[in-house]
Amino acid sequence: MNNYKLITKQNLHSFFDALQPKNTIIAPKEINKKYYFKPVDKFEDIALDYIQTVLSAKSVLFPRSDTLFNYHRADGDYNIDEPSPIEKNTIVFGMKPCDASSFVYLSNFFLKDYQDKNIKERLEKLYIISLSCKEADNACFCTSVGSNPASTKGSDLNLTLIENDTYYVEVVTEKGQELINYSADLFQDTKEIDKSKYIANVPQKFDVEQAKQNIDSIFESPLWVKDSLACLGCGICAYACPTCTCFDIQDIGSQFNGSRVRNWDSCAFDLFTKHASGHNPRPVQSQRWRNRIKHKFEYSVENLGLISCVGCGRCIRSCPTSMNIVKTVQIFQGV
């Protein structure tokens, strides 16, 4: 489905007020000149003119630490309870189209074979209102990975600021229509418009099909070492990434009482691939960096038919040593 509407900024405020009482709303908020997704209850708290948040919104679906169940031993037996993963419907208000498209990858990853219960329940109650980008920076590269700053992929509603404080609204899914129905009279019907003149210009930096082929074919190359000398093996890139899904399952507590928890993990860490024997098949950082790049453009294509990079640029902006995934892909483009 696709139908097109207009809403003024003032009415968008009223729309937020209509949604707020019955839903949890997560939106970008400014904290010390940086932007983070936080729960908001006032429209004024939302940053509408940001370029990118530091961390992605994936934690709405896949939290940093996710309790799978609690256990308690009593009378010689274990009692298990599974806490509800989500209470109210959750709306992410104003995420960028690159982030919205990451949810297509995330739902594929977590639901394709084994249906992850927590993720499934959260996804059912998740609504995405994306906001097309007016501005981009040097780190943005959505157009290189098959998207664009006004893409509706993964969104339920997509808003594009056109002119005179008016947003052009695309209703992408039934869920989007459900949101509109909270206060349908705030919207005005319109025809499809060409959004391209209202959005940021993000130059294409590489050809994704070519990149997939090149990265697929190169495993042993001195370039992996040369390109990753600066990498220090922290987990910022994976933790800021909207599509990195690796996790580590731990039991927290004692043998009598505790929780089984799923925590984020990162392939940049030494411990990530370490075997119980003590052997580590990826003992050095260049091999871990290679894994990251190959996972994004090769392994996830093999597993799910999708690349796992949406071009949000967070890994580039937050890397303390300026490692740059675009530069790496370009290096292999030139091979």
Partner 1 sequence: MTELQNIAKKLFDDGSINLLIGYSNNENGGTSAIFIDNSADIDKLIYNENCHQNLMVYFQKPEVKKFGKLAFVVSLPGLKSVLEIASENQIKDGDAYFIAIDKDGNPSLLQDFHQIEDFITNNQTKPPMGLLKLMEKINNMTREERWQYWTDEFSKCIKCYACRSVCPLCYCTQCITDINIPQWISTESSPIGNLDWHIARAMHLAGRCIGCGECMKACPVDIPLALLTANLNKSIAIHFGDEPGMKADYKYPLSHYKLEDKENFIR
Residues 6+ apart with CB under 8 A from 154: 97, 99, 100, 101, 102, 103, 104, 128, 130
Residues 6+ apart with CB under 8 A from 181: none
Site residues (CB under 8 A) for partner 1, limited to 28-57: 31-32, 34, 36, 54-55
With CB under 8 A as the contact rule, the residue among 93, 103, 168, 239 that binds partner 1 is 239
In whole angstroms, the minimum distance from the beta carbon of 272 to partner 1 comes to 10
Pick 119 or 180: Cβ nearer partner 1: 119
Handedness of CA 197, 200, 201, 205 (dihedral sign): negative
Q: Counting contacts by CB under 8 A, is residue 250 touching partner 1?
A: yes
Q: Counting contacts by CB under 8 A, is residue 139 touching partner 1?
A: yes
Q: Among 51, 199, 238, 229, which residue's Cα sits nearest to residue 138? A: 51
Q: Counting contacts by CB under 8 A, is residue 258 touching partner 1?
A: no
Kindly report the CA angle at 29 between 24 and 33, in degrees rounded to 5?
A: 165
Q: Among 328, 92, 98, 80, which residue's Cα sits nearest to residue 223? A: 328
Q: Counting contacts by CB under 8 A, is residue 64 touching partner 1?
A: yes
Stretch touching partner 1 by CB under 8 A, among 95-103, 260-268, 290-298, 300-308: 260-268
With CB under 8 A as the contact rule, the residue among 22, 42, 117, 327 that binds partner 1 is 327
Q: Give the Å distances, CA to CA, from 286 to 127, 162, 245, 275, 280.
A: 39, 45, 21, 19, 14
Q: Counting contacts by CB under 8 A, is residue 68 touching partner 1?
A: no
- Record the tokens describing residue 132, joined without a space: 């097309």
With CB under 8 A as the contact rule, the residue among 18, 47, 51, 225 that binds partner 1 is 225
Q: Counting contacts by CB under 8 A, is residue 246 touching partner 1?
A: no
Pick 47 or 234: Cβ nearer partner 1: 234
Q: Give the Å distances, CA to CA, from 228 to 140, 234, 288.
A: 21, 13, 9
Q: Counting contacts by CB under 8 A, is residue 240 touching partner 1?
A: yes
Pick 10 or 65: Cβ nearer partner 1: 65
- Residue pair 281/271 in contact (Cβ under 8 Å)? The answer is no
Q: Counting contacts by CB under 8 A, is residue 309 touching partner 1?
A: no
With CB under 8 A as the contact rule, the residue among 230, 246, 257, 302 that binds partner 1 is 230
- Residue pair 103/245 in contact (Cβ under 8 Å)? The answer is no
Q: Counting contacts by CB under 8 A, is residue 324 touching partner 1?
A: yes
Stretch touching partner 1 by CB under 8 A, among 68-76, 78-86, 280-288, 304-312: 280-288
d(CA 251, CA 239) in angstroms, rounded, equals 21
Phi and psi, residue 220, nearest 5°: -95, 115
> Cα 26 to chain center, whole Å?
13
How many residues bind partner 1, per CB under 8 A?
A: 48
In whole angstroms, the minimum distance from the beta carbon of 277 to partner 1 comes to 12
- Record the tokens describing residue 6, joined without a space: 């207009």
Q: Counting contacts by CB under 8 A, is residue 321 touching partner 1?
A: yes
Q: Counting contacts by CB under 8 A, is residue 252 touching partner 1?
A: yes
Q: Counting contacts by CB under 8 A, is residue 71 touching partner 1?
A: no
Binding site for partner 1 (CB under 8 A): 31-32, 34, 36, 54-55, 64-65, 137-139, 225-226, 228-230, 232-236, 238-240, 248, 250, 252, 261, 263-266, 269-271, 274, 284-286, 316-318, 320-322, 324, 326-327
